[in-house]
Amino acid sequence: MFRAGQRLGGRAATTGTAPRHRTRVARTDRTAPKGKERQPSDELQTKVITMRMSRTLGRTLGAAATALGLATAMAAAALMTASPASAATLTEVTNFGTNPTNLRMHLYVPDRVAARPGILVAMHYCTGSGPAFYSGTQFASLADRYGFIVIYPSATRSGQCFDVYSSEGLRRNGASDHTGIISMVQYVIQRYNGDPNRVFATGSSSGAMMTNVMLALYPDVFRAGAAFAGVPFTCFATTGGSTWNSQCANGQVIRSAQEWGNAVRNANPGYNGPWPRMQLWHGTNDETLRYPNFNEEIKQWTNVHGLSQTPTYTDSPQAGYTRTRYGSSGPQAPVEAISMQGVTHNLPINAAEAIRFFGLDNTTPPTTPPVQTTPPIPPTTPPVQTTPPIPPTTPPVTGGCSATVVSLDQWPGGFVATVRVTAGSAGTNGWRVTLTLPSGATIVNAWNADRSGNSGTVQFTNVSYNGRLGPGQTTEFGFQGVGTGTGMTTSSCSAS
């Protein structure tokens, strides 16, 4: 059920992988006429979240088909052979309800949606977006297979991290991201006859932290969640407007199971309904949200369910992975935890295993797709940037590629930079960026690129999942350094 061959920071070779979706965004408004429902017509951020949690999750694809098993894969192949190619697209929805932090909402409704579809909220990593998470994971492909609907929220504050730290962000119905996400869920339930008893949440990194928040604040809405490299609810809480909790990130917030469980219960005083089930994933070599957070999450959710921290069931679904279940030995235990030996914060997103845990893989969508009354409308203007990027240090080029430093966040003794690579008119099969650091600056960590050197002139090359770019397409990589980043220059970008 799990894929083998995981390579750290990259994508494992796999066979039988469900097709990745290519993002084509149409816009819609809640006031669109009912007949057109099939295409329903935005300081310094968390220093290390922004710098390290930026993860292009496309590197983790490939788990879906192997997780579902050979028989399921053969049945899906037969189904796809007999059915026309999917025409469903990712759609941006506006005016979906109360949205205090100006989140953006993208929605994926498969062509063959179930009569009473389940709903999955899939939340991105820092510096990511809903469309990037859509393109980089297999949740939409699995929605095609099983007929559920996927909501992809996008954080729009600087750094594009979800609020998992403020007092409003940790209070039910507070003026923060979670309230906007609940509005998205309610919108889908009302507009698409969604099943309110089958609403789920998942995410990676910042999105995994937000998964813990959503389940803790709204146990009456979410039935289960899957958190890929997160921290317990309230672990990242800060005061004074700070967006970063270094003690939590470093795995130094250690509490009793009862204390963690009380944090969830105190967020919903008087609630006596069932608590959401939780699936937890964490790499032992996580350098951003360190591994002790995994055990703290287990303590929190087992206590919420009134369970011991002693596993009911333990196995090794693939080499280096240890899976423990609490409260049941079955595939939908109240708490399931997967420890991934040697894996960093770049952990794979095993979408199929999450869908299996949710129970969304037992839905049969209708055999005849609904008639679409209008084709999707491509966007006429690009999304508005709320914060202007730093001016390019190198001019764009017609062929090859160009590289631009689009953000530079600094604090005494350190900095984080994000670099955007843009393909020229011929596209790229791979790229290399040469960057010169100021004197005394040293790189200590990088993501979404391999690097050669740590100081002076440093070269960054694409990794397996972001080298191929179409004409004009972009990808981003980032790095953390000590010293100052002021004065760095990107001297060249070459394409292959």
Q: State yes or no: is 464 an active-site residue.
A: no
Q: Residue 73, SS3?
A: helix
- Residues 333 and 329: their CA atoms lie apart, in Å, by 6
Contact at 8 Å (CB) between 116 and 191? no
In sign, the C-alpha dihedral spanning 467, 470, 471, 475 is negative
Q: What six digits make up the tokens of 267? A: 């967020």
Structure tokens given for 97: 């309800």
> Which one, of 19, 284, 281, 9, lies nearest residue 145 by Cα?
19
Looking at 205, 339, 402, 407, which residue is catalytic? 205
Report the relative pairing of strands 401-411 and 335-340 from DSSP bridges.
unpaired
User: Residue 270 has what DSSP assignment?
Assistant: T
Distance CA 228, CA 357 (A): 13
* Whole-Å CA distances, 285 to 196, 346, 474: 37, 10, 29
The pair of three-digit structure tokens given for residue 96, joined into one six-digit string: 């979906």
Question: Which residue's structure tokens are 């993860």?
Answer: 55
Are 99 and 36 in contact by the 8 Å Cβ rule? The answer is: no
260-265 long-range contacts, CB within 8 A, separation 24+: 260/232, 260/233, 260/296, 260/299, 260/300, 260/303, 261/299, 261/300, 261/303, 261/304, 263/216, 263/232, 263/233, 263/234, 263/300, 264/216, 264/219, 264/233, 264/300, 264/304, 265/304
Annotated catalytic residues are: 205
